[in-house]
Amino acid sequence: MKIIAYGIRDDEKPYLEEWVKDNKIEVKAVSELLDSNTIEQAKGYD
């Protein structure tokens, strides 16, 4: 599974990285929120 996570803050990154490691899932974390300008980043993700 390949996930993109929008709106991730710096203080959330360590928890996300731990979750990724525990679940062996590829996650791309971006600070931008999901909207019509950032939707293209989601191409190729589940």
Q: For residue range 9-40, what is the model confidence (pLDDT) as tens digits?
A: 999 999 999 999 999 999 999 999 999 999 99
Q: What angle do CA 42, 8, 29 make, to 5 degrees?
A: 45
Helices (H) and strands (E) in the chain, counts: 1, 2
Could you give the maximum distance between any two Cα atoms of the chain, in Å? 32
- Domains identified in the chain, total number: 1
Query: By residue range, what is the domain housing residue 8?
Result: 2-42
